[in-house]
Chains A and B, each alone.
Chain A
Amino acid sequence: MSSANVIAPSFPRRRVPAAPLLLLLGSVALYIGVAFSTGQTRMLEVEGVVGLLQRMVALGIVAIGQTFVILAGSIDLSVANLISVAAVLASFIMQGRPEMMLVAVVAVLAVSAVVGFINGALVSRLQVSPFIATLGSGLILQGLLSASFTNFAGSVPIEFQAVAYGALGPLPYSVIGLFLLAILASILLRATKFGAHLFAVGGNAEGARLAGIRTDLVIIGAHVLCSLTAGVSGLYLASRLRSGAPWVGRDGVYDLESIAVVVIGGTLLAGGRGGVWGTLAGVLLFAVLDASFNMLDVSAYPKLVLRGGIVIAAVAIYTFRSRELAA
Chain B
Amino acid sequence: MAHVARRINVALVVFLLFYLVIGLLQPNYLEPAGAMNFLRRAAPLAILAAGQLFVLISGGFDLSVGSLVTLTVVGGSMLTANDPGNTWWAIAALYATGLCVGFINGAVVAYLRTPSIIATLGTLLSVNGVAMMWSGGSPRGYLPENFRMFGRLVFHDVPVVKIFPAAILVFAVVWALAQWGLHGTVFGRRVFAVGDNARAAQLAGVQVASVRIAVFVISALAAVTAGILLGGFGGVSVDVGVGLELQAIAACVVGGAQLMGGRGTLVGAVAGALTLTALFTLLTLLGWPQPLKETAQGVILIIAVAFGAWRRRRTG
Contacts and interface: CB of A to CB of B under 8 A. Distances in A.
A–B contact via C-beta, under 8 angstroms: yes
A116 to B, nearest CB: 15
Contacts of B128: 304, 308
A3 interface: yes
A3 B59 contact: yes
B129 A137 contact: no
B113 interface: yes
Contact of A146 (B259, B290, B296): B290
A127 to B, nearest CB: 4
B198 A325 contact: yes
B198 to A, nearest CB: 4
B155 interface: no
B199 to A, nearest CB: 6
Interface residues of B, number: 61
B117 to A, nearest CB: 7
A139 B114 contact: no
A256 interface: yes
Contacts of B117: 259, 269
A184 interface: no
Interface in A243-271: 256, 259-260, 263, 269-270
Contact of A139 (B137, B261, B294, B309): B294
Interface string A1-37: 1011000010000000000000000000000000000
A308 B124 contact: yes
B298 interface: yes
Contacts of B202: 325
Interface residues of A, number: 54
A140 B298 contact: yes
A308 B122 CA distance: 4
Max chain A Cβ within 10 angstroms of own Cβ: one of B108, B112, B195, B202: B112
Interface in A134-160: 135-147
B173 interface: no
B139 to A, nearest CB: 13
B315 interface: no
Given A301-B137, A311-B122, A144 B114 contact: no
Interface string B233-270: 00000000000001001100100001111000000000
B121 interface: yes
A324 interface: yes
B294 A146 contact: yes
Contacts of A326: 109-110, 113-116
A251 to B, nearest CB: 13
A211 interface: no
Interface in B274-306: 289-299, 301-302, 305-306
B109 A327 contact: yes
A327 B196 CA distance: 11
A305 B133 contact: yes
B122 A132 contact: no
Interface string B30-62: 000000000000000000000000000011110
B292 A147 contact: yes
A191 interface: no
B214 to A, nearest CB: 14
Given A269-B115, A307-B125, A140 B299 contact: yes
A220 interface: no
A74 B270 CA distance: 28
A269 B126 CA distance: 22
A306 B125 CA distance: 8
A140 B306 CA distance: 16
B208 interface: yes
A258 B9 CA distance: 36
A128 B198 contact: no
A302 interface: yes
Contacts of B130: 305
Interface string B171-196: 00000000000000000000000010
B309 A126 contact: yes
B290 to A, nearest CB: 7
B313 interface: yes
Nearest to B209: A325
A319 B295 contact: no
A132 B301 contact: yes
A138 B294 CA distance: 9
Interface string B122-161: 1111111110110001000000000000000000000000
Contacts of A135: 246, 250, 298, 301
Contacts of A300: 132, 137
Contacts of A143: 291-298
B253 A132 contact: yes
Given A136-B299, A144-B295, A300-B132, 15 more contacts: A3-B261, A127-B313, A132-B301, A136-B302, A140-B298, A143-B294, A304-B129, A304-B132, A307-B126, A308-B125, A308-B126, A311-B121, A312-B118, A312-B119, A319-B113
8 contacts: A1-B260, A4-B198, A144-B292, A144-B295, A300-B137, A303-B129, A320-B112, A325-B199
